[in-house]
Structure 1
Amino acid sequence: MTPEALNSFFSIGIGFALAGALVNGYQAVAQRPAGFGLLQDGVAPKTFAAVPFLVFAAPFIIMRNTLRGMRLESRRLEFVMMATVIAGFWSMMSGTFFLMTLRATGVLG
């Protein structure tokens, strides 16, 4: 396995772990699951605060909604595969950004 592929897999894992931690932390504090409905409160400070949160929490929310929809609504396998690819790519991008931020601040060498 090439170092670039290993780095990509590591970024995907970090992105999903970060998304899961954010969503579970939100649920522990707010006593309700996080979702894209946080953006439907109109023009308010908490709506603007939800945007950066959702940028990093989206992979977990996409996969949770997809797997739940597969069970409850019998969604087709193609839709589930497409959502998984989108969530994986999003996770890789947010994980890469998070790792780059840690490297820039000197936390990682």
Structure 2
Amino acid sequence: MSPEALNSLFSILIGFAFAGALVSGFQVFATRPAGFGLLQQGVAPKTFAAVPFLVFAAPFIIMRNTLRGARLENRRFEFVMMATIIAGFWSMMSGTFFLMTLRATGVLG
């Protein structure tokens, strides 16, 4: 496996792990699952605070909603595959940003 492919895989895994940790933390404190409905609360400070949270938590939320919809609503394979690709790409981007931030702060070498 090439170093670039390994780096991309690591970014995807870190992105999904970070998204899962954010959503799990939200669910512990809010006692309800996180979702994109956080943006539908009108113009309020907590709506603006939800945007950065959702930027990093979106891959987990997309996959959770997709897998639940595939089970309950018998969604087509193509829809599930497209949502998985979108969540994976989003996870890679957020994981890359997270790793770059760790490198910039000196946590990673």
Query: What is the TM-score of this pair, normalised by structure 2?
Result: 1.00
List structure 1 segments (4+ residues) > 2 angstroms apart after TM superposition: none
The answer for unaligned runs of 5 or more in structure 2 is none
Instruction: Show the counterpart of 1:86.
Output: 86
**Partner Cα distance (2:43, 2:102) in 1:** 32
Matched to 1:88, the amino acid is G
Residue 100 of structure 1 and its aligned partner are, at CA, apart by 0.1
Residue 27 of structure 1 and its aligned partner are, at CA, apart by 0.2
Instruction: Show the counterpart of 1:105.
Output: 105
Instruction: Show the counterpart of 2:11.
Output: 11
Show CA shifts across 1:33-59 (max 9, x none): 000000000100000000000000000
Residue 79 of structure 1 and its aligned partner are, at CA, apart by 0.2
The answer for unaligned runs of 5 or more in structure 1 is none
Residue 60 of structure 1 and its aligned partner are, at CA, apart by 0.1
Instruction: Show the counterpart of 2:27.
Output: 27
Show CA shifts across 1:46-92 (max 9, x none): 00000000000000000000000001100000000000000000000
Query: What is the TM-score of this pair, normalised by structure 1?
Result: 1.00
**Partner Cα distance (1:61, 1:105) in 2:** 28
Q: Percent identity?
A: 87
**Partner Cα distance (1:75, 1:22) in 2:** 27
**Partner Cα distance (1:29, 1:74) in 2:** 32
Aligned length: 109
**Partner Cα distance (2:30, 2:91) in 1:** 24
Instruction: Show the counterpart of 2:63.
Output: 63
